[in-house]
Structure 1
Amino acid sequence: MPEPQIIAVVTTLASRDDALRIAHALVERRLAACVQLSSIDSVYRWQGALQHEPELRLTVKTLRSRYAAVEAAIRELHPYELPQVVALALDPVLPAYAQWVAQQCDDG
């Protein structure tokens, strides 16, 4: 059996309540095996003005095959007009961890 392709999908949010709401929804829907929240500072330009804001980064561990569904769920639930939604390939991955992620994201 081939090893599952694991990715980390990353997004950011302004509030802990929104971050937890999205994290819980992704895991409950079996779109993610795990979602980690990290406090960060973001510096960016938005609508012509320089911004510096505290945010929470969500790192969503999932299967590459679930990316479209994860992106759709984030877009559905996210309060930002233009949320960051990027995916990073995780390779190599401890095989037992990859199998665990796959089991958690199995909707069958």
Structure 2
Amino acid sequence: MPTVYITAPPDAAADLVERLLEERLVACVNQFPCQSTYRWDGAIHHDDEVILLAKTTDDAYDDLVACVREHHPYDVPCIERFDETDVLEAFASWREDAVE
């Protein structure tokens, strides 16, 4: 089962998380404020962002990506999938039950 790493601007992160939870595409999302420095359109930018670690399932992953792409304010949102090789069985079971 995957954990999905997503970054979003602070003013959009909470709405995105609520949508993912309401649509049952994730079981849980951890949120961490961060400062991102990146190159875009030939210039270096420094922006406040929120890191979202979204716990989902293999079956819901494609729908999660589609939802983020549709509702994220960036033209090119950061969406990275981390597949777990070891996870507590009770946690995996809870996540499976929470995501439809």
- Both proteins in one fold, TM over 0.5: yes
Give how far 1:41 is off. Answer: 1.1
Q: 1:13-32 residue pairs with structure 2 within 5 A? A: 13-15=8-10, 17-32=11-26
Aligned partner of 2:70 among 68, 73, 76: 76
Gaps of 5+ in 1: 1-5
Per-residue CA deviations over 1:55-81 (Å, capped at 9, x if unaligned) read: 101111000221110000001110001
Aligned partner of 1:91 among 85, 89, 100: 85
Give how far 1:19 is off. Answer: 0.5
TM-align CA RMSD: 0.9
Aligned partner of 1:67 among 61, 66, 76: 61
Amino acid at match of 1:29: E
Give yes or no for the alignment of 1:10 onto 2:20.
no
Per-residue CA deviations over 1:21-68 (Å, capped at 9, x if unaligned) read: 010111111100001110011111000001111110111100022111
Counterpart-to-counterpart distance in 2, 1:19 and 1:52: 17
Amino acid at match of 2:20: L
Q: Taking structure 2 as the reference length, what is the TM-score of the superposition?
A: 0.95
Amino acid at match of 1:26: L
Q: Taking structure 1 as the reference length, what is the TM-score of the superposition?
A: 0.88
After the TM superposition, list the runs of 4 or more consecutive aligned residues in structure 1 that deviate by more than 4 angstroms: none
Give yes or no for the alignment of 1:54 onto 2:48.
yes
Counterpart-to-counterpart distance in 2, 1:8 and 1:19: 17
Aligned partner of 1:101 among 59, 76, 95: 95
